[in-house]
Structure 1
Amino acid sequence: MNHIHIILLGFLMAFPALGAGNLENGQKLAETHCARCHVIGEYNKFGGIGSTPSFRSLRGTPNGIERFRTFFARRPHPAFVSVPNVPRWTNLLPYATPFEVSVEGIEDIIAFVQTLK
């Protein structure tokens, strides 16, 4: 598990303060890629997979924003999510449609998440 922390630390140090993300793009990314498993708000309030936390629940945890910022390295995401220039720590075959999200895209998702009531 230490290699995961090293990757995350390197990622966070490389992008310490990106500033506010683009809310509209974050909503689009969440609806396109995240709603297949997570409830992300009014868009799919009766959707998602029962075993996955909703965006509101995740945001409400003490380290909620940090969890969104590093979601791509948290299980089960590494099998199907990639970030340019960030090495994957697993070679598991994807069991969901793979997608790539940029660092800016992650900040956009965070901007959207912060608007959820």
Structure 2
Amino acid sequence: MTKPELMLWGVLRTRPAGLKFRRQHPVGPFVLDFYCSAQRIAIEVDGIVHDMGDNPARDIDRDSWLRQEGVEVIRIAAADILSDLDRVAGAIVKRCATPLHQPAAGPPPHAAHGED
């Protein structure tokens, strides 16, 4: 793990807001930096290497594949973690703690019933 990944893992491993995060979690042909299974959210830490060669295209393909599998991807620049870990971790926890469906709003629509 890189330094920014280790820093972020130091926060996420404490189960902030009761959320469980996994690190180096395999999904299909990929290994995710971090994964919140309760919300099906992947957190990817992007260092400078993600801007080199064919890596940007590979990241696009990877994110597309994950979205098709129902996994949301949050990409975070490693530099952001290094400069303000608390802000980054807080934003991740806030997003992961927000349920995709609020029970008070009633049951979620069912695509099988034409309620896309």
TM-score of the aligned structures, taking structure 2 as reference length: 0.28
* Higher normalized strand content (fraction of residues): 2
Larger radius of gyration: 2
